[in-house]
Amino acid sequence: MNILKQREPLLAAMVVLLVVAVGLRAPVFLSAGSLANLVTDSTLLVMLALTQMLVIVTRGVDLSVASNLALSGMVAAMLGAHYPGLPLALIMLAAVAVGLALGLVNGWLIGFLELPPIVVTLGTMSVYRGAVFVLSGGAWVSAHQMPPHFIAFPLDRLLGLPNLVWIAAATLALMAWIARSTRFGRDLYAIGNAPQCAGYIGIPSHQRLLGTYALSGAVAGLCGYLWVARYAVAYTEIAYGFEFTVIAACVIGGVSIGGGVGTVLGATLGALFLTVISNALPVLQVSPFWQSALTGLVILVAVLINARGAGRRSRQILPLHGTDAQPKRSAA
């Protein structure tokens, strides 16, 4: 019965039940091709939700991820269009570098200048989105302008699975390792649980926040290339509003806006849940305008559940650094 009190098993069961329920109404939804597309469609949201989870754990938020994705994707698309002979690895590296630089700007303003994350990322969200227009001149980069290998890579198959799925799986494994097995990741939970106490036990909060937003930016940059390559188009409004879907995936997955609580599995399941909803509505011939209302309702329910479970939050501050991290008594 203890498993019924855990967030992740319940959310996983909800995802399965939702898939089955839609499949009973429209059997095509349960076909192998449809389920494979469902997994592929979830990859970019999963990747962004995983890094957003680490940000929210620190009591922060990164509202600029979609704008970062758009700018990095436009850079990648323009490089591919203007230099078709450029190695794909170099284009992907350029997209990641742009995303990393934009993430470092957020991290420096939030970590070292101690500005409010929501204000900083709201501002950079607009700045980065405007930079997409300035860089492109408002023009689109279409499929016929992109090299074939540029477009093909995300859906090319390795051992029967698209590269998108492999990249998302690698990101999931990396974030799970960072969150559970590194001092960096465990420090983030300490910062989110009690920022002042984290400083007292020697956690370099400024550097940790810088690294967290840099990681979020780098993954957004990688997703920028993957997005424009998969959909074979880059324009100023790409992924507009997608940052709210990313945050919604985290909240649904049990990540507490109050900080200090969240898991890689929960964020992943939250992203899968939203992907199932978005894919199911067209199959059920439901107007896409209902998706926002349904997503908002799910978020409200998730926040309510998170609030009820706030009293059972696990504190992870003092055990993180062993006995060396124990506060020393001052000599009287």
- Taking only the tens place, the pLDDT of each residue in 42-58 is 999 999 999 999 999 99
pLDDT in tens, 17-42: 888 888 888 888 888 888 888 999 99
Lowest mean per-residue pLDDT among 8-17, 53-62, 159-168: 8-17
Residue 5 predicted with pLDDT over 80: no
Q: Which residue has the higher pLDDT, 31 or 199?
A: 31
Per residue in 106-136, pLDDT tens? Answer: 999 999 998 999 999 999 999 999 999 999 8
Q: What is the pTM of this model?
A: 0.87
**Sequence-ordered alpha helix ranges (H) in 140-284:** 148-152, 163-181, 183-193, 195-200, 205-231, 242-252, 264-283
Burial readout 45-65 (b: 16 or more C-beta within 10 A, e: otherwise): bbbbbbbbbbbbbbbbbbbbb
State residue 308's pLDDT score. Answer: 62
Residue 274, token pair as written in the block: 């939203």
DSSP 158: E
Query: What integer pLDDT is reported at residue 257 of this predicted model?
Result: 85
Cα(59)–Cα(141) distance, integer angstroms: 37
The mean pLDDT value of the chain amounts to 86
